[in-house]
Structure 1
Amino acid sequence: ILWALTVLTSLILSGFFIAPIVQKFSDSPTYTTVANTNYPIWHLDFPAISICPNIRIDSKRLKEVLRNEPWSKLDKYSLDQVLPKVLKKYLFLPGMDSNFEDVEADMKSFVDQYHQYIPQLLRSSIYSCQSLFQNCKWQGIATLCSDLFEMRKTDLGYCCSFNTVRQAEQFDFQDDEGFSFHNYYGEDYFELVDYTLENMYDNDENIYANDEDPTKRKRRSTPEVSKPKVTRLRRTNSAGTSLGLSFSIVIPERSTDDYTIAAFDGFKVQIHSPYDFPEVEGRGLAVATNQIAFISVSASITRSTENVKAMNRDRRNCFLSDEELDDYYIADGVQFNTFDNYTQKSCLLECQAHLIFKECQCIPHYFPSFSKALGQNTTCNHTGLDCLINHQHLLNALKPDDEEHSHQLMEGAKCNCPQQCDETVYMTEFSQVPKSSSVSSKEAGFGNTSDVYVYFKQFGVIEFSRDQLFSLADLIGALGGIMGLFVGFSVLSGVELIYWFTLRLFNNH
């Protein structure tokens, strides 16, 4: 009896110590530690910078565009009264809190008739990057601003971005002949040719030859496009105020036609990953007129080991950038199949686009164009715009997996988008001071300007390593050690037990 109690006690104690190890193997298959506190900045991309002036429309460019069809056929009332109100509704769409149903009937009729053309009208009448930027320097060397800043889509429409990959370049679409449709998605067709206002229209014809099928759109009087333009990301091996990116931005002055999206004169700037869709309205920093702004950047990098990458996708709870996700659903009935490589941001963007399209049969004009993925035209008539306003929670919030606390939160999009196994996160510190009146550029005839300096704070950043906590060999070793300690168990004793309770029972010789 004493021996039986001793064996039973040993088994219970071994089970007591084995249980947490098995649970940790099951619930926490990976762990993250600091691998390097001085990872060189020249091994990572310089952060992307997206800038949107608060005054969104250049009145002079707008007047030029309105001379072309279909706008040239508008009557004076529609041109002077209805169109400005409609444009303001579109510009304020990301933060609009009043229903589009509340507007006048003539505005609804106008939107329903011209909704296919309004997004392009906004694109054509914004301030060009060439007119906004001056005194640009990269790594302390004077550089043409036009070589640094290009138009990109953001949550405020088209804005100027530095070191930002087009969402179109990340789309994964090809026709039967292998031609990529990248140039039809995200940033418009003009981004791939020599864009000027003068050659955008030809003989007063509409710029699109086919408004229903975006893959058949043709540009009038423009050079042929052989290949989509590919963004080459910049890196730096310098840190400090004067050795990053610096520039002056001209702040447009308010006019009688006030297309201003904020209550202050200035602009918003966002520092983000080069691969992320810019969210300037939601995450940008505000810089006022006649200021000198300093934005120091630090970063953290997470790298996953080969052991983690070899794990099952569900066990590691993170996705590789080149993961095959044809069988993965990011929302009910929605597969991740639009982007070529996985990032959490691109997953959320595709998920939100599908969910908002399911509710409204259109998506916001500032989204990358998902018309190919959705198989339909995605521009909004007035009913669609009203639906977008009523469903902004799908664009601004995520529904948590924890239903216990969801009653305290607003409704959000239900998206299954795990983190990336390898990722770079940029952090910023921001300060701004007023310019001295003695160096005011307005007196020199340049208008109101603000100066911005974006730079790495230090030569090194923090590198994290994500590794496998317990491999199968580690688990077997831990279990064997505990069993050996408490009950003297080994492979040989296991074989001996099998022998005594099988062969030995039937053979006494």
Structure 2
Amino acid sequence: MDARSNGLGPMEPVYAAVDRDPTATDRKRTTLLQKTWAYFKEYCVNTSLHGLKYVGEDQCPLAQRTQYLGYASLICDGNKMVGANTTDEDAIEFLLKAAPKLAQTLLNCSWHSEDNCSCLFDTVLTDEGICFTFNSIAYDDFFTDKAHQNNTLRHSRVNQVRGWSLDEGYTGRASEAVYPRRTVSAGAAAGLTIVTSTDDQNIDANCRWPVQGFKMLLHSPGDFPNMKTQFFRIPVDRDVVVSVQPRVMMTSEALHSYSPDGRRCYFSSERSLYFFRYYSEENCMTECLANFTVQRCGCAAYYMPRKKNVPICGGARMRCIKIGEDDFYGSERNLADCHCLPGCMEIKYTAEISHSQILWHKYFEQKPEVAAKLENKTHGKTVIYFKNSHFIPSHRSELYGFTTFMANCGGLLGLFLGFSVLSLIEFMYFLTARALCYFS
């Protein structure tokens, strides 16, 4: 039968209505955000950028994640303006948490009969971030009560000074327990041996110059370390030998009668610093730079000594700190205003460095189980020792005193004129009493 004969028109197309989910687009967008966030957290965990892994921590507020980025910028180049103008003590706690641990940096240590790195090394805060120090004094002996100290760093340094002073050195016998530690002989067998380790992921070209190795500084136990200006580099994959020769300057007690400008040095009892218990030229310059930075930027760098009410500079102020530091050291007037003369008792160290390559692959071939543990890491060995058992100190004394001047004058007059003390008395007699009797 034809459809037309039935009186029915052509069949119209029927469109079925589809039920739409109004939340489908939102779910798709939420899933995409979750995948993006999960991917970002994976990047934070595996990235070489210092401290960024803490940004991706679970159960961490967004404000705290942003604050972590500002904390991490404190140890990067001063040209990077990240973070607020000021920060708080949490920044130092973050640096302590984000920095490589002592056990990850020093795999092995040896000093005489001690081989525990945690007993030989302490944590110290420097201008290069968190460093590890050997034979440095405790914070309570280092800083005065006026200097604000971080509690974590303060409790990490427990070695108190025993049997040693900056002016007199070691006062007891060699067999007595003293601190700072001392050695009684020269040579590598009596030195400090360390095996260093570097994770390849910690080499960050975005933050600092992409150089492998460690910065090492030799300084007196009472000096504040300045890693930017005084250091030498320890390369990786090298067996490094550092031969140390001390240079000691001593000053005669007879020069106490001279002014510091005349003798060009300060005795420890003549000048006291606000933040440091021990006076030295380095400590004086560090304190003067800290005061200059507070005056210029309104805050102090995280590694500088400061008063409790002085805030810590945030990432946005790092450029101000860098420019201020350049202006400070580049101005003769600023340095003259500090009047930081050397100490009359001063210890410096000169180092002779030699190194050779370590063929780790030969070692790992014999011990494959060790190679698996040290994968993606570079290592090095460093031995530091005194070159000689004895050294000759320099002694600062007066070249011509009053007694020396009188002796030289008397010697010359006696040589050419036969002059003596009796001649002087005779001269005074004829000049006074004899003349009065003669002319009266």
TM-score normalised by length of structure 2 = 0.72
| Partners of 2:289 and 2:325 within 8 A in 1 | no
- 5 Å-filtered alignment, 1:316-331, equals 316-321=263-268, 323-325=269-271
Equivalents in 1 of 2:322, 2:393: separation in Å?
41
- 5 Å-filtered alignment, 1:317-396, equals 317-321=264-268, 323-325=269-271, 336-367=273-304, 369-372=305-308, 376-381=309-314, 384-394=317-327, 396=329
- 5 Å-filtered alignment, 1:169-318, equals 169-173=141-145, 184-185=148-149, 188-193=150-155, 230=160, 232-254=179-201, 261-309=208-256, 311-318=258-265
The alpha-carbon deviation at position 156 of structure 1 amounts to: 0.6
Equivalents in 1 of 2:142, 2:281: separation in Å?
13
Q: Find the counterpart in structure 1 of residue 62 from structure 2.
A: 74
- TM-aligned CA distance change 1:113 to 1:420, over 3 Å: closer
Q: Find the counterpart in structure 2 of residue 150 from structure 1.
A: 122
Determine whether 1:128 maps to 2:51: no
The alpha-carbon deviation at position 320 of structure 1 amounts to: 1.6
Determine whether 1:119 maps to 2:103: no
Equivalents in 2 of 1:165, 1:262: separation in Å?
31
Q: Secondary structure, in 3 states, of the residue corresponding to 1:324?
A: coil
Q: Secondary structure, in 3 states, of the residue corresponding to 1:283?
A: coil
Alignment partner of 2:373 out of 445, 453, 459: 445
Alignment partner of 2:133 out of 142, 161, 173: 161
Equivalents in 1 of 2:229, 2:86: separation in Å?
31
- TM-aligned CA distance change 1:91 to 1:142, over 3 Å: same
Unaligned runs of at least 5 residues, structure 1: 1-54, 174-180, 196-227, 327-335, 401-410
Equivalents in 2 of 1:427, 1:296: separation in Å?
8
The alpha-carbon deviation at position 288 of structure 1 amounts to: 2.9
Which amino acid in 2 is paired with 1:120? E
Q: Find the counterpart in structure 2 of residue 11 from structure 1.
A: none
The alpha-carbon deviation at position 229 of structure 1 amounts to: 5.2
- TM-aligned CA distance change 1:385 to 1:280, over 3 Å: closer
Q: Find the counterpart in structure 2 of residue 456 from structure 1.
A: 386
The alpha-carbon deviation at position 159 of structure 1 amounts to: 0.6
Unaligned runs of at least 5 residues, structure 2: 1-47, 162-178
- TM-aligned CA distance change 1:483 to 1:394, over 3 Å: farther
Equivalents in 1 of 2:222, 2:105: separation in Å?
24
The alpha-carbon deviation at position 356 of structure 1 amounts to: 2.1
Alignment partner of 2:401 out of 434, 457, 471: 471
| Partners of 2:87 and 2:312 within 8 A in 1 | no
- TM-aligned CA distance change 1:482 to 1:398, over 3 Å: farther
| Partners of 1:297 and 1:456 within 8 A in 2 | yes
Which amino acid in 1 is paired with 2:386? F
Per-residue displacement from partner, 1:10-50 (whole Å, max 9, x unpaired)? xxxxxxxxxxxxxxxxxxxxxxxxxxxxxxxxxxxxxxxxx
Q: Secondary structure, in 3 states, of the residue corresponding to 2:283?
A: helix
Per-residue displacement from partner, 1:89-133 (whole Å, max 9, x unpaired)? 32134xx3x3x5xx4xxx4xx414745533332232211212221
| Partners of 1:56 and 1:261 within 8 A in 2 | no
Equivalents in 1 of 2:188, 2:87: separation in Å?
47
Per-residue displacement from partner, 1:144-200 (whole Å, max 9, x unpaired)? 110111101222122111112246522233xxxxxxx67x43xx21134479xxxxx
Q: Find the counterpart in structure 2 of residue 219 from structure 1.
A: none
- TM-aligned CA distance change 1:494 to 1:347, over 3 Å: farther
Q: Find the counterpart in structure 1 of residue 6 from structure 2.
A: none
Equivalents in 1 of 2:52, 2:205: separation in Å?
9
RMSD over aligned Cα, in angstroms? 3.4
The alpha-carbon deviation at position 310 of structure 1 amounts to: 5.3
Percent identity (aligned): 22
| Partners of 2:137 and 2:159 within 8 A in 1 | no
Per-residue displacement from partner, 1:380-434 (whole Å, max 9, x unpaired)? 246643321221224545627xxxxxxxxxx867421112212221110112222
Equivalents in 1 of 2:212, 2:261: separation in Å?
49
Alignment partner of 1:399 out of 332, 336, 348: 332
Equivalents in 2 of 1:171, 1:480: separation in Å?
52
Which amino acid in 1 is paired with 2:255? V
| Partners of 1:291 and 1:451 within 8 A in 2 | yes
Whose radius of gyration is greater, 1 or 2?
A: 2
Equivalents in 2 of 1:168, 1:67: separation in Å?
38
TM-score normalised by length of structure 1 = 0.63
- TM-aligned CA distance change 1:492 to 1:458, over 3 Å: same
- Larger RCO of the pair (alpha carbons < 8 Å, separation 6+): 1
Which amino acid in 1 is paired with 2:137? V
Which amino acid in 2 is paired with 1:146? S
